[in-house]
Amino acid sequence: MNPKNVSRRDFIAASGAIAGAMLVNPLNAVSTSPLIADKKKRIAIVGTGSRAKGMWSSEVLQAYPDKVEFVGLCDINPGRVEYFKKSTGFTCPTFTDFEKMMKEIKPDTLIVTTVDATHHEFIVRGMELGADIITEKPMTTDEQKCQAILDAEKRTGKKVTVTFNYRYSPHRAKMYELLRSGAIGDITSVDFHWYLDTSHGADYFRRWHRLKEKGGSLWVHKATHHFDLLNWWIESDPAEVFATGTLDFYGKNHSFRHTHCRPCPHKENCNFYTDITKNKNYMELYVAHEKHDGYLRDGCVWKEDINIYDKMAATIKYQNGVQVSYSLTTYSPYEGYRIAFNGTKGRMDVWIEESNPIEDKPYDEIVLNKNFGTREFIRVPHSKSGHGGGDKLLKDKIFGGVTEDPLNQAANVRDGALSILIGIAARKSCETGQPVKISDLTSIKPGVKRQFATS
Ligand SMILES: NC(=O)c1ccc[n+]([C@@H]2O[C@H](COP(=O)([O-])OP(=O)(O)OC[C@H]3O[C@@H](n4cnc5c(N)ncnc54)[C@H](O)[C@@H]3O)[C@@H](O)[C@H]2O)c1
């Protein structure tokens, strides 16, 4: 059997045949198999923007040269896809037509890093044309598209992996361990508040994320990360969401505006003015290719077409009875989050400042308070690399042959769905003023206990 032609089913069957080797040493099982060692993932990317470039390209090839090869690149913007190829040093062909790429290249893995509202097109069609999917969050932006993905996965027998890198940050993994160890007894409620600062937060109002129809609003685009963490930490499925949200700060709320920063006559008076010409990467990735699609990377944060919320709050009930108070603010002086888990035996508090101009601590701190007992400070060192070192651990899991999953961090289509469904429910709740049941949105029946994905 030519390893290049091994389908996922054949692969699983063949893996069964080498089960003897696995039993001897499960941790080394993958490297003991010549079949698996020879089989490189043939990867294509659709959406060659900044996430694909920073997370899913050259570094992946450098880190796992014997496990992956990039065989095709596709983007709707012909200039950007050519630049991506040149800047990554990839030698594979480029396309602006997705169907053509899939039919000519026949990749076995497709990485989806396009604008959120288009993910479903590539996930569904990608599986139909024979690829397993690695998709960026959010998996998609509404419940119909979500259902289409769930149906396509079942129909094709292919697999969707959602890259929830936040689960892999060392301090969040430690929180998961402490919660499972019963350190605070049974979790009863969670207070979770996320603050985006005037740089990162504002960035969502500059480009496509500012439109609900492109990113599903920050309830979906951004909060999918936070809702996925909750689902993972609480280890139950969400049942119902009630939410409110308004646009109080950005968009129409200002006295002046322009199309984008470069030609803006209000530069001197605007705290949100950004000089993109000083950012070589953005100039080469975006500005140089504006002529093809009009994508302005330094768009005005005061544009009147902005239709997402910049201040959001939700109450989320879980199937196991846990209730969550969640909020997201997008114009804070600092970036980070506070979370507290209340339990039958105590409370766990975490306060993470992701950008702290005053103090740069080399660790993240978890405070464990026991009822009638002690207060313990647990310091978890963090790495400077992407998302506290989480991005690297996630890639090791996806490409590096790491098969163990002791903290249940692997995320499949159900995880991808349940995190966005909280955001979709919250968005609907804002629009209708009514609570929204997760079970009313798709065929997924939320359970008291989370179903684990296999990695
Ligand atoms: N996990 C994380 O922490 C994280 C961080 C950043 C971005 N992301 C996700 O990655 C994805 C990409 O984000 P980005 O910041 O790179 O955006 P981007 O705008 O830089 O890149 C998106 C690319 O998709 C292309 N595109 C859009 N529609 C297309 C279509 N129909 N066909 C082909 N190409 C199309 C655009 O031309 C662009 O090159 C988003 O889904 C985003 O949510 C995840």
How many CB atoms are located within 10 Å of the residue 416 CB? 29
Q: What is the largest CA-CA distance in the chain?
A: 71
| CA 113 / ligand 1 centre spacing (Å) | 4
Shortest-distance atom of ligand 1 to CA 135: 41
Residue 329 beta carbon below 6 angstroms from any ligand 1 atom: no
DSSP string, 137-176: SSS-SSHHHHHHHHHHHHHH---EEE--GGGGSHHHHHHH
Query: What per-residue confidence (pLDDT) applies to 356?
Result: 60
Cα–Cα distance, 407 to 169 (Å, whole number): 12
> How far is 134 from 388, CA to CA, in rounded Å?
21
What average pLDDT score do residues 20-39 get? Answer: 39
pTM: 0.91
Report which ligand 1 atom has the smallest distance to the Cα of 54: 16
Which residue out of 85, 113, 133 has the highest number of ligand 1 atoms within 8 Å of its CB and is therefore the one to mutate?
113
Q: 241 alpha carbon to ligand 1 midpoint, in Å?
A: 28
> Distance, CA 112 to ligand 1 centroid (Å)?
8
- State whether the beta carbon of 48 lies less than 6 angstroms from ligand 1: yes
CA 114 to ligand 1 centroid distance, Å: 4
Q: Whose CA is nearest to atom 34 of ligand 1?
A: 75
> Is the beta carbon of 141 within 6 A of some atom in ligand 1?
no
CA angle 424, 427, 431 (to 5 degrees): 140
Reported as a single tens digit per residue, the pLDDT across 111-156 is: 999 999 999 999 999 999 999 999 999 999 999 999 999 999 999 9
**Does 216 contact ligand 1 (Cβ within 6 A)?**
no
Q: Which atom of ligand 1 is nearest to the CA of 116?
A: 41
Angle at Cα 86 formed by Cα 300 and Cα 65, nearest 5°? 115
Phi, psi angles (nearest 5°) of residue 72: -165, 145
CA 1–ligand 1 middle distance (angstroms): 37
Whole-number Å distance, alpha carbon 183 to ligand 1 midpoint, is 39
Quote the ligand 1 centre to 53 CA distance (angstroms). Answer: 10
Q: What value does the mean pLDDT of the chain take? A: 91
Q: Pick the residue with more confidence: 181 or 20?
A: 181
Hey, CA dihedral for 360, 409, 165, 192, is it positive or negative? negative
Cα(235) to ligand 1 centroid in Å equals: 29
At 358 the pLDDT is 55
What's the mean pLDDT in 423-441? 98
Split at pLDDT 50, 70, 90, the class of 387 is confident
Tell me if 118 CB under 6 Å of ligand 1: yes
pLDDT single digits (tens) 326-341: 999 999 999 999 999 9
What's the gap in Å between 198 CA and the centre of ligand 1?
A: 21
Q: Give the amino acid at 41.
A: K
Check if 116 has its Cβ closer than 6 Å to any atom of ligand 1: yes
Confirm or reject: Cβ of 197 under 6 Å from ligand 1.
no
In ligand 1, the atom with minimum distance to the C-alpha of 164 is 1
- Cα–Cα distance, 191 to 71 (Å, whole number): 45
Cα 444 to ligand 1 centre (Å): 27
pLDDT digits (tens, 9 = 90+) for 182-201: 999 999 999 999 999 999 99
N- to C-terminal Cα separation, the chain: 24
Can you tell me the mean pLDDT for 371-383?
92
The residue whose two tokens read 């009930």 is: 317
pLDDT of residue 391: 86
Does ligand 1 come within 6 angstroms of the Cβ of 135?
A: no
- Partners of residue 160 on adjacent β-strands: 133
CA distances to 275, 328, 361, 405 from 314, in Å: 35, 9, 31, 31
b (16+ CB within 10 A) / e for 289-322: beeeeebbbbbbbbbeebebbbbbbbbbbbbbeb
Q: How far is the CA of 255 from the centre of ligand 1 (A)?
A: 31
Model confidence pLDDT, tens digit, residues 207-228: 999 999 999 999 999 999 999 9
Q: State the Rg of the chain over Cα.
A: 22
Return the residue whose CA atom lies nearest to atom 19 of ligand 1. Answer: 49
The token pair at 401 is 């042959």
From edge to edge, which strands make up the β-sheet containing 109-112? 94-95, 68-74, 41-46, 109-112, 132-135, 160-162
